[in-house]
Structure 1
Amino acid sequence: MLHLFFAVAFSAVPLTLYVPPIRSLNLFVQTIEDVWRESSVYTHRVYPRIRYAFRRILDCMLCTTTTH
């Protein structure tokens, strides 16, 4: 059982390299929030246009399928 414990423990050590330290997470979260805030201005302008374009494409597809 001790051999299994050490095998699992030593195989999990390289995985800890992928997890950033806690002090780096605050900077990461702050950066993501800044990007989200900056992109939301553009998203609110573009989103109605995308919805309108998608609606027109869908209407065209439905119109062509119902006329045949």
Structure 2
Amino acid sequence: MLQLLFAVAFSAVPLTLYVPPIRSINLFVETIEDFLRHTAVYSIRLYPRLRHAFYRLLNSLLHFSRGCCS
């Protein structure tokens, strides 16, 4: 049983290297929130333009598929 305990303890030590400290996680979350806050401004302006461009493209494809030049 003692050997199993040591095996589990020593196998878990390398895993602690991959887990950042709590203060680093807070900084990471704060950075992600800041990034999302800044990109939301651009995406709000971009979505109507993309939707309009998509509808124009779809309309032109439907127009040419109907045989407009007959």
Q: TM-score, normalised by structure 2?
A: 0.65
**1:26 corresponding residue in structure 2:** 26
Q: Which runs of 4+ in 1 moved over 4 A?
A: 52-60
Residue type of the alignment partner of 1:48: P
- CA 1:51–1:8 in structure 2 vs 1: closer, same or farther (change >3 Å)? farther
Structure-2 separation of matches of 1:14 and 1:27: 23
**1:4 corresponding residue in structure 2:** 4
Structure 2 regions of 5+ residues with no counterpart? none
**1:19-65 CA deviation, whole Å, 9 max, x = no partner?**
111111221111111101100011111223334455666775xx6xx
Q: Which structure has the greater CA radius of gyration?
A: 2
- The sequence identity of aligned pairs, in percent, is 68
Q: Give the paired residue count.
A: 64
Structure-1 separation of matches of 2:54 and 2:5: 56
Q: TM-score, normalised by structure 1?
A: 0.67
**1:49 corresponding residue in structure 2:** 49
Work out whether 1:37 is the aligned partner of 2:47: no
Structure 1 regions of 5+ residues with no counterpart? none
Structure-1 separation of matches of 2:4 and 2:54: 56
Structure-2 separation of matches of 1:38 and 1:44: 11
